[in-house]
C-alpha cells in the first residue's frame, strides 16, 4: 500500500487544503491527514473539531484517514510506514521554509516530501486569512467548504 501524509494545523480546513488532499488521494493508496496538536498555540477550533470538519469534507474520498498527532512528523510517518509527505506550494515564498523542513525530514528519517503546486485560485489562501476576514464579516463562502463556513459563522457568533 503506497501511503502519504498531508500534515497541517487545518484551523480550519480550506478549499486550498481540500484541493491538495484530493489530488494526493488520486496519487496514493492511502492519504493520512495529520492534524498537528500545538499546545503552545490556542487555535480557533479544537483539534477534535478540525478533525471532524476534515472528515466531513473528505467523506467522498474513501482512501483518506484523518487523525491528530503531536511531536515529530517523521515519527508519525515511521509509526505508520508512510514514506512520503505531500504538501501544497502556494507561491515561491512558501518554498524557502518548506525546503528547509523537507531537508530536515529526509535527514532525520529518509521520509521524502513531494510538493503539489496549489490551484492558482487558492494561492493567496490560508486558514489565518480566512479567519481574519470572516471575523470582520467578510464573505469567505467561496474559500471554504460549506460545513466549515457554517462552523466558522457559529464559532464567531459565540465570541
Ligand X SMILES: O=C(O)c1ccc2[nH]nc(Br)c2c1
Q: How far is 15 from 24, CA to CA, in rounded Å?
A: 14
HEC secondary structure over 20-71: HHHHHHCCCCEEEEEEECCCCCCCCCCHHHHHHHHHHHCCCCCCEEEEEECC
> Is-catalytic flag, 17?
yes
Closer to ligand X at the Cβ: 120 or 137? 120
Would residue 93 show up in a list of annotated catalytic residues for this protein? Answer: no
89: enclosing H helix or E strand = strand 84-89
Q: How far is the CB of 144 from ligand X (least distance, A)?
A: 11
Q: Are 159 and 136 in contact (CB under 8 A)?
A: no
- 154 catalytic residue (yes or no): no
Q: Which of 39, 41, 157, 159 is catalytic?
A: 41
Q: Output the CA angle 150-50-159, nearest 5 degrees.
A: 55
Least separation in angstroms between residue 112's CB and ligand X is: 15
Q: Is 17 annotated as a binding residue?
A: yes
Query: Are the CB atoms for 130 and 10 separated by under 8 Å?
Result: no
Is 90 an annotated catalytic residue? yes
Say whether 76 counts as a known binding-site residue: no
DSSP-derived secondary structure letter, 137: T
Min dist CB 149 to ligand X, Å, is 16
Note the residues at the interface with ligand X (CB under 6 A).
6, 8-10, 14, 16-17, 20, 87-90, 94, 118, 126-127
Binding site residue list for substrate: 9, 41, 73, 87
Binding site residue list for ATP: 9-10, 17, 88-90, 98, 122-128
Q: Which residues are catalytic?
A: 17, 41, 90, 127
Amino acid at each position: 500500500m503506497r501511503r502519504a501524509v498531508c500534515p497541517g494545523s487545518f484551523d480550519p480546513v480550506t478549499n486550498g487544503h481540500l484541493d491538495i488532499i484530493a489530488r494526493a488521494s488520486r496519487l496514493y493508496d492511502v492519504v493520512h491527514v495529520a492534524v498537528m496538536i500545538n499546545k503552545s498555540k490556542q487555535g480557533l477550533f479544537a483539534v477534535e473539531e478540525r478533525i471532524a470538519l476534515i472528515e466531513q469534507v473528505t467523506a467522498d474520498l474513501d482512501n483518506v484517514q484523518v487523525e491528530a498527532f503531536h511531536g515529530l512528523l517523521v515519527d508519525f510517518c515511521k509509526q505508520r510506514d508512510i514514506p512520503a509527505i505531500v504538501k501544497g506550494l502556494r507561491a515561491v515564498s512558501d518554498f524557502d521554509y518548506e525546503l528547509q523542513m523537507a531537508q530536515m525530514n529526509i535527514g532525520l528519517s529518509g521520509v521524502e516530501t513531494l510538493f503539489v503546486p496549489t490551484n492558482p485560485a487558492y494561492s493567496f489562501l490560508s486558514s489565518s486569512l480566512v479567519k481574519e476576514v470572516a471575523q470582520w464579516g467578510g464573505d469567505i463562502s467561496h474559500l471554504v467548504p460549506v460545513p466549515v463556513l457554517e462552523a466558522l459563522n457559529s464559532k464567531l457568533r459565540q465570541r
